């Protein structure tokens, strides 16, 4: 059974930092592209970051570029999101998700349960 479990969320002051983790099992993590998607309270989904299977290629939404860093440890079956210079508008539930393809058509197949990050003084 595929499982993705996020952790590391919590309350942080504006300007602070937080590191999210996503522990996975049930599939070959080292072959999987991964993403982080967030959802502000009562709002829609927002993609924020991507990392290739090897970790060589990364991509970020403009809203987090320069502040967030995605990384992975394939030996530990874990995905990370280092979040610096946090702002109130970063308050959201953060989901990790697998990015899979069907004939080069990509989609988010498996999702974690999410971890809530609250940025407030």
Cα 110 from Cα 34, distance rounded (Å): 10
Pair 32, 53: CB distance under 8 Å = yes
14 Ramachandran zone, left/alpha/beta (phi>0; psi -120 to 50): beta
Minimum gap (Å) between residue 101 Cβ and other proteins? 9
Exactly one of 1, 31, 41, 44 binds other proteins (CB under 8 A); that residue is 44
Exactly one of 16, 87, 106, 120 binds other proteins (CB under 8 A); that residue is 106
User: Contact between 27 and other proteins (CB under 8 A)?
Assistant: no
Minimum gap (Å) between residue 43 Cβ and other proteins? 8
Q: 121, exposed or middle or buried, with CB in 10 Å at 0-12, 13-18, 19+?
A: exposed
Minimum gap (Å) between residue 121 Cβ and other proteins? 26
Cα 60 from Cα 15, distance rounded (Å): 19
Exactly one of 2, 40, 45, 88 binds other proteins (CB under 8 A); that residue is 45
- List residues near other proteins by CB under 8 A: 35, 37, 44-47, 50, 59, 61-62, 95, 102-103, 105-114
């Amino acid at each position: 059974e595929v499982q993705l479990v996020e952790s590391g969320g919590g309350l942080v002051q504006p300007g602070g930092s937080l590191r999210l983790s996503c522990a996975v099992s049930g599939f070959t993590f080292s072959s999987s592209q991964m993403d982080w998607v967030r959802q502000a309270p009562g709002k829609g989904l927002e993609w924020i970051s991507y990392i290739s299977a090897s970790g060589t290629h990364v991509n970020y939404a403009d809203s987090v570029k320069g502040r967030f860093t995605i990384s992975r440890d394939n030996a530990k079956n874990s995905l990370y999101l280092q979040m610096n210079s946090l702002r109130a508008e970063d308050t959201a539930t953060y989901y990790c998700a697998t990015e899979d393809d069907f004939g080069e058509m990509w989609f988010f197949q498996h999702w974690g349960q999410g971890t809530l990050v609250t940025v407030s003084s």
